[in-house]
Structures are given as C-alpha cells and as structure tokens.
Amino acid sequence: MNKLAVVALGGNALLRGNQKGTVEEQNQNTIDTLENLIFLVKEGYDVIIAHGNGPQVGNILMRNDAGEQLYNIPQMPLDIDVADSQGGIGYMIERNLRNVLKANGIEKDVVTLVTQVVVDKNDPAFADPIKRVGRIYSREEADELIADKGWIFKEEVKADGGWRRVVPSPKPIRVINEKVIENLARQGNIVITVGGGGVPVSEDESGNLCPVEAVIDKDLASALIGARVKADEFYILTDVSFVYKDFKGPNEEKLEFLNHADTLGYLEDGTFAEGSMAPKIRACLSFIENGGGKSVITEATKLEDKSYGTKITMEYDPKDVNHIA
C-alpha cells in the first residue's frame, strides 16, 4: 500500500497579500504551488490536499455586504460562505492540478469534496469569539449590525482602526465522509477536502446536522482528517522554509528536527507566536499524537528538497546527528 500524505495549503498559496485577487493571479499562484506537489505523486504517495480560504472567504463576505447595501440582496450565513469558497477554490485547484499532472505525464483523477466538519456546540470558543472576518466598519456601522444581526465586534489595532466582526473558532472533532475520503485516496485519486477548515456544523439532540456561524482552523482540520484516514505524513506548506526559535530575534535558531516532548515544551514556553506558527505546531502535534508518523512545516517550493523543512516525530532524539526524518 502506498504511503498517504495530507498536504495543507495556506490561503496565501492562492492569493498573496500584495495582490488584488484577480482570477489570473490566483490561477498562476495555484499552478506555482501545485507544481511543487508533483514530487510526492512521482514518489508514489497517495495525496489528500487541504487548503485555507482566509482571503477568499473575506472577499465573499465583503461582496455579501455590498450586495445587501446596494441591491438589498440578503446576506448568506457564514457556513454558506465557507461552502462557496470550498467550491470555488476546490475547482481552481482541481482544474489546474489536472493540467499539471497532464504536463508531467501522470494519469490520475482529482476529486473535490465540499466537506462538513463537526464541532461541539458547547465548545468554549463560542463564549469567546476571536477570529476576525470581513471588512472593517465604523463604530456607527458596527452598532447597527450588532442591533440588526447580533454580530460581535472587536476594535482593530492595525491600519486606521475601526471595528471588525469576530466569530468563534471551535475545535474540529469529526469530518463528515471521512471514510469516503480515505477510500478515494487509497484508490489512487487525489482528494481535495476540508477547505478552509471545513464547513462548520454541529449535531442536535436527534443527531441532525445544524449550521454554525464559525470558522475552523484549517491546519487543525487537516491534521484531524490525516489522523482519521491513517495518513503516514502531514505537510503544512507556508511561507517559511523552517520553524525558528526566537524568530527574527537576536538569538534566532533554526529547528529542523523535533520530537514531541521538545516541541510541546517550546509551545508551552511561548516560543511560537499565536496567530502565526503556534496553531501550525498544535496541528502537527495533534497529527502525531493520533498515530501519524511525521509532520513537516516548510515552504511549498522546498518540498522536494528534504534538507528543508521542520520535521516533527514522536520519539526522535535531537542528539542523534545520524537521524534522517
């Protein structure tokens, strides 16, 4: 049986922060990213692709806002917006990946799944929404939306200030259709799933699925599906080649090989910044804690070069200089 890898692409793999977000820009970014994944396919891996949606779902929310203000088009709830982004991004990845595979002489089917992810309706995150979404509003606009829609806002500390909507980010506990995802991947298909962390749903007392106004961390959801399908390796592709201790500080240190205990220690000591590397580290730890063999954080363009990337395994002894992860 082939090794199975789950690869999590950041939202900036499709849309970069300094770009307008045109379809031409996103298509080219997607192609550039996917060309670096072909290495795994050529190495004989079965592959599951997950992806972020931060910039894209933000744009959807702003379009909703403009449509309501200008044309009285009702806004769609956040779960529908996440599903919209899954479909659009999944289509873009699938179409471009089929072309990249063809250019490399590889015959494989690619399947995109609009994926629901179950969260606990009693998750503590619902009492403390922190994930900022959508555009920045004035205090007056925010007050109107609080009264009209019951939204929660926090003041922006960047740019020119203002107020921004915040929503909960609960922990993912189960992926709908996870057995289908595993079967498709083990049959040699490349599966695109849990986009943007998945469409958040909860279960009521009767076991029915209910929509949730929340967003799920993409890396945690990717680690979860990796563990549930018994993947061998988990890759988070980001904009740095390694994880660093004291990143950009006077005592910056590259961390290439880490075991579970040391990684957890660094995390608990605050070595990794919240809002950037810490969530990725938690996802990597979750994957190996639940049976995964190896987690890797690296830059997409460095995937083929095994001298790059921070590798996290359960038992590796950092003093063993002969170890190859």
Active-site positions read 11-12, 131, 218, 280
Q: Is 233 left (phi over 0), alpha (psi -120 to 50) or beta?
A: beta
The closest of 231, 198, 250 to 5, measured between CA atoms, is 231
Residue type, 279: P
Pairing of the two strands 46-51 and 4-9: parallel
Cα 43 to the chain's mean position, in Å?
24
CA distances from 1 to 4, 45, 185, 187 (A): 9, 9, 11, 10
Instruction: Find out whether 101 and 41 touch, Cβ atoms under 8 Å.
Output: yes
CB atoms within 10 A of CB 205: 5
φ and ψ of 50, to 5 deg: -115, 160
> What amino acid occupies position 19?
Q
Q: How far apart are CA 97 and CA 78, in angstroms?
A: 28
Tell me the Cα Rg of the chain. 20
Q: Under a CB-based contact definition with an 8 Å cutoff, are residues 181 and 175 in contact?
A: yes
> Mapped to the 3 state alphabet, what secondary structure does 82-93 carry?
HHHHHHHHHHHH
Q: Give residue 78's identity as a one-letter amino acid code.
A: L
